[in-house]
Every structure is written in C-alpha cells, then in structure tokens.
A and B are shown apart, each in its own frame.
Chain A
Amino acid sequence: MPVGKPSQWFALVRPGDVLVIGLALFVCIASAATLWRGGAPDKVVIRAGGQLYAETGLSRSQRIEVPGPLGITVIEVEPGRARVVSDPGPRQYCVRQGWLTRSGAAAICAPNEVSLMLSGGASTYDSLNY
C-alpha cells in the first residue's frame, strides 16, 4: 500500500480536527499542571507548649512572636517559605535550619517548646528533618 507524501497526510486534517488536537493538548498540560503540583505548601502551623498557637497562610509576609517558657521565639513568614529568626534556646538548632520551603518541613525549638511546620499541597512526606 502506498504511504504517500506528507502533504497527503496533512490533507486528512480538517479544521475541526485541529481544534480537537489543541483541546487534547490543553487537557494534557492542564491535568499535569493541576495534578502534579504536589509539594508546594500553602499553610504555616505554629505550636507552643503542645497547643496550636497560630495557623496562617503562606501568601503574605509577616512576623509572628511566640512566647515560651524561656522567652520569645520570632518566626518570619514570606510568600512560599518560613523560618525561625530568633529563639532563646541554647543550641539554636531551629534557627540554623534556615528557610523551610517544602510541605511537611518542620523546625522545632524544643527548649522553648515552639514548633513551626509547613503543610498543605500534596505533601510528599509526613514530616521533614534536617
């Protein structure tokens, strides 16, 4: 059977077909964009003394001061990330973790009983430690 020239194959594509092909590609891209977005956090959860202290969105910048038994832990939130700026604890582990960017990531200031955790999105892990 003759396979024919490329122009003969293009002749088979009618105007509506182009529309349908475009629509199909759009469905591919849109589904990939919505279903494979996982890992982007959209929420910050702050706990003090085991109790929920604050739960806020990750969309706008803010500073949150959390009181604990040793003093005040300062948490900074920026769009898409959050960190512990200062903590009265002796070893400063939670401060040295720096910015948290992934869903499930947590910084725990154990001496001052304050913890910071990112959540939301399709979390890849239950929690992340550094």
Chain B
Amino acid sequence: MTPSTIEIRPTADDARIARFAAAAIVLAVAEAAIPLPLPGVKPGLANIVILIVLLQWGWRDAVWVALLRVFAGSLLLGQFFAPGFFLALAGSLASLATLGLAMHLPRRWFGPITLSILAAFAHIGGQLVLARLWLVPHDGVFYLVPVFALAATVFGLVNGLVAGHLLRELSSAADAVTKDEPSR
C-alpha cells in the first residue's frame, strides 16, 4: 500500500480535546434516549463537560469541544443538517459567546453555577431567535418562553452543581497525584 503523504501528528491538545468531545458526545446521545414533553427542553448534560473544559483549559478548548459535540452528535443521531442541528448550533454559539464573556466575572463570587445558568439561557435564546427568524416566523414561539426559561433555570442549576462537584474532585485528584510524586 502506498504510504500516505499526509502525516497528522496529534498534539497533546488534540488528544485532550478529542477525549472531552467524546465524553460530551456520549452524554448528548444518551440524553436523546430520554423522553421529554417538549422539543427543545432537555437537560443538556453535555454542557457539564463543556463547563469543565472551560474552567480547566480555557475558552478555546471549550469552543472546540462544544462544536465537535454539535457536529458529531447530530451525525450520530441522524440529525445532521436537519432543523434540530441548526437550532443546536445556534444555541451552542450563543452560549459559547456568553461563556466567553461570563468567565471573566470574579471567580470569588461567581462559580460554575452562574456560568451554567447563563449558558443555558443563552442556549434557549439562540435557539428561539433562529426558530423565530426561520422555522416559525410567528410570535407564537415566544409563548413557550416561560417553559424554556424554567427548564434553563433548573437544568442550568443542576448542571452547574455537577460541574462544580466534578471540578472539585478533579482538583483534589490532581493534588493527590502531585503529593504522591513530589519529583514531578
């Protein structure tokens, strides 16, 4: 076989992003199996992974993981280029932009819960704007705003708590590693 002339050397960054993206995609696909009363209302468990990536590795990595999740998740679910895909993309972009701004809030006062709730609201905001402009060109879509807002509050809070908990676990695990191997 002719050896490929293109050689891709994945960096440590690539490997890390791929790992987190895989975790986010698994959560997104698992979540698709949960029956939900309204299209658009879902827990958004993948956002836990995105919050962890954001707070541990920064905004650039979070953007990579979030967009990989949207693209690969929709491919796996057969939603690629379906309306749901564009809604997810619009929500994702809006929440990434919000997270990019909100992550500069003082950490002492605002934790993962704030980021999670703001991201959840940006998510529904982005989706609603696209839905209003393109899918349902009628103000009737805004009738559902209170339902979406309540979902964003509840799931944002829960996801933020879980992300905060996991971040604490991760940092204590990292402490343990450095304690075990003081030479590193």
Kindly provide the distance from the CB of B159 to the nearest chain A CB, expressed in whole angstroms. Answer: 12
A-B contact count (CB 8 A): 68
What residues make up the interface of A, taking CB atoms closer than 8 Å to B?
1, 4, 8-9, 12-17, 20-21, 24-25, 27-28, 31-32, 35-36
Closest to A10 in B: B161
Interface stretch (choices B8-16, B27-35, B49-57, B140-148): B140-148
What residues make up the interface of B, taking CB atoms closer than 8 Å to A?
105-106, 108-114, 117-118, 121, 142-143, 145-146, 149-150, 152-153, 156-157, 160-161, 164-165, 168-169
Closest to B144 in A: A35
Kindly provide the distance from the CB of B107 to the nearest chain A CB, expressed in whole angstroms. Answer: 8
Kindly provide the distance from the CB of A12 to the nearest chain B CB, expressed in whole angstroms. Answer: 4
Interface contact B110-A24, CB-CB below 8 Å: no
A15 and B142 contact, Cβ closer than 8 Å, known pairs A27-B149, A28-B149: no
Interface contact A24-B161, CB-CB below 8 Å: no
Interface SS, B side: helix
A49 to B36, CA, bound (A): 54
When distances are taken between beta carbons in the complex, the residues of chain A under 8 Å from B164 are 12
A15 to B142, CA, bound (A): 31
Kindly provide the distance from the CB of B34 to the nearest chain A CB, expressed in whole angstroms. Answer: 21
Interface contact B153-A25, CB-CB below 8 Å: yes
The one of A9, A16, A31, A32 in contact with B109, judged by C-beta atoms closer than 8 angstroms, is: A16
Interface contact B153-A35, CB-CB below 8 Å: no
Closest to A12 in B: B164
When distances are taken between beta carbons in the complex, the residues of chain A under 8 Å from B168 are 12
When distances are taken between beta carbons in the complex, the residues of chain A under 8 Å from B111 are 12-14, 16-17
Interface contact B150-A35, CB-CB below 8 Å: no
A36 to B169, CA, bound (A): 43
When distances are taken between beta carbons in the complex, the residues of chain A under 8 Å from B118 are 20
Kindly provide the distance from the CB of B166 to the nearest chain A CB, expressed in whole angstroms. Answer: 8
Interface contact A13-B149, CB-CB below 8 Å: no
When distances are taken between beta carbons in the complex, the residues of chain B under 8 Å from A25 are 153
When distances are taken between beta carbons in the complex, the residues of chain A under 8 Å from B143 are 35-36
Interface contact A1-B114, CB-CB below 8 Å: no
When distances are taken between beta carbons in the complex, the residues of chain B under 8 Å from A16 are 105-106, 109-111, 114
The one of B146, B152, B160 in contact with A35, judged by C-beta atoms closer than 8 angstroms, is: B146
Interface contact B121-A21, CB-CB below 8 Å: no
A12 and B161 contact, Cβ closer than 8 Å, known pairs A1-B169, A21-B153: yes
The one of A15, A17, A32 in contact with B146, judged by C-beta atoms closer than 8 angstroms, is: A32
When distances are taken between beta carbons in the complex, the residues of chain B under 8 Å from A15 are 109
Closest to A122 in B: B143
Interface contact A9-B161, CB-CB below 8 Å: yes
Kindly provide the distance from the CB of B158 to the nearest chain A CB, expressed in whole angstroms. Answer: 11
A26 to B55, CA, bound (A): 27
Interface contact A27-B121, CB-CB below 8 Å: yes
When distances are taken between beta carbons in the complex, the residues of chain A under 8 Å from B114 are 14, 16-17, 20
